[in-house]
Amino acid sequence: MASRRCTAVLSAVLLALIAAWCPPARAQTPDQTILIGDLTTVGRIGDPADTYRLGRDLAAGFIDMAGGVMGSRKLEIVSIDPEGDPQAAARAVEELKKQGVALFIGGLLADVTLAVARAAGDTPVLAADARLPAALVRDVPNLYQIGPSAEALGRALAAQAATTGVTRWGVVARDDYFGRAVTHAFWNDLSAAQPGLELAMEQYVPTLSGAVGPALDAVANTRPEGLLVALRDGDLVAFVQGAAGAGVLDGVQVAVPHMGSPEILGALGGARPNGWITTGYLCCETGGQPHRAFADAYQQADPRGRSPTLGALYGYVAMTTAATALDTAWSVKPDQLAEALADLTLSSPVGEMRFAPETHQSSMVMWSGWIRDGRFTDARPVDPAALSRPR
């Protein structure tokens, strides 16, 4: 199927946001709601998940204002919170498929998102920010990843870590697909760039547990020169705050994915570190008017008037990707949606993106840089699709 590119001819702040999506000129379809399933864990994640939903709902509102999809059909999001339980997520998929869901979006936990994709059968799943290993995504034909893969994050961090000259590293990571795959990619790439590395310690933290005490003790006892921290959300905040209180990371070169996202820096408050290697989100220094428009609209929609987070960006893009796929396929049939996604190019607030055919990994830009003086700085753009290719 030839890729369709569309540009919205709309003006003002909110209309610039629909540049990623506009319906092709076809005959009108009778008004019939299309269901989009969302099985994102929200309650146990908290604010990052809330901002993801706000970004998702912002996009849904603009799509509705523009007339819906496939002519005049409305989109309705049906959400179930699996509370971090892969088995509960798989059961919820069956329930939503009975209701007639055409697509699934969401997913902020690697293991839960993978369970959703496997239970969904041939129904497409758009993973917003699961940070799944690209190797796993390749093996699940209906799964498409918008946020970066675990390999992309690990390799981006390793490229910067190789410039520091540190050779004695420790690892603290989540005990899930994300944590282990980031660790594997980081260690393989850093070892190739800098032979003679020593692994001082390796400690895994149960997902969403906040049980970082053993990891802090392991770091204090071994005193590595460098530390990979492959944690996220509440587990990451708990570890950083605990480390700051105990002083166990003084003088340690730390590499950590997505510390440079506004939701994590905001949660850390006065415990923000200095000199850490990280990835993150620059709002709103790229993408031109669509990015500024997205930021303005999000700030107006947020009850606290905040700028968009990384999760909000992924939620927005997941929803616009779903709408674009439906309009391109002009069908809710799984095989036709899959065909549309495989050849889809669309605009996001931060630039053009598509899914790599061999990995189903989005090329939406991410940034790699440093935390200095409490801010994400010296960032350079990185293509996560390129960093997700097999090596």
Give the pLDDT of residue 19: 46
**Quick check: pTM over 0.85?**
yes
At 13-37, the pLDDT tens digits run 344 454 444 444 444 444 589 999 9
> What's the CATH fold of domain 12-148+288-365?
Rossmann fold (3.40.50)
Q: Are 18 and 360 in contact (CB under 8 A)?
A: no
Both tokens of 268, joined, read 């850390």
At 35-65, the pLDDT tens digits run 999 999 999 999 999 999 999 999 999 999 9
- Do you find a cis peptide bond into 284, omega within 30 degrees of 0? yes
| Class of domain 151-283+367-387 as given by CATH | alpha beta
Q: Are 101 and 74 in contact (CB under 8 A)?
A: no
Domain boundaries, given as residue ranges, for the chain: 12-148+288-365, 151-283+367-387
Where residue 12 falls among pLDDT bands split at 50, 70, 90?
very low
Nearest to 187 by CA among 252, 239, 255, 275: 255
At 198-248, the pLDDT tens digits run 999 999 999 999 999 999 999 999 999 999 999 999 999 999 999 999 999
At 113-165, the pLDDT tens digits run 999 999 999 999 999 999 999 999 999 999 999 999 999 999 999 999 999 99
Angle at 40 between CA 292 and CA 269, to 5 degrees: 55
Give the pLDDT of residue 282: 85
Where residue 283 falls among pLDDT bands split at 50, 70, 90?
confident
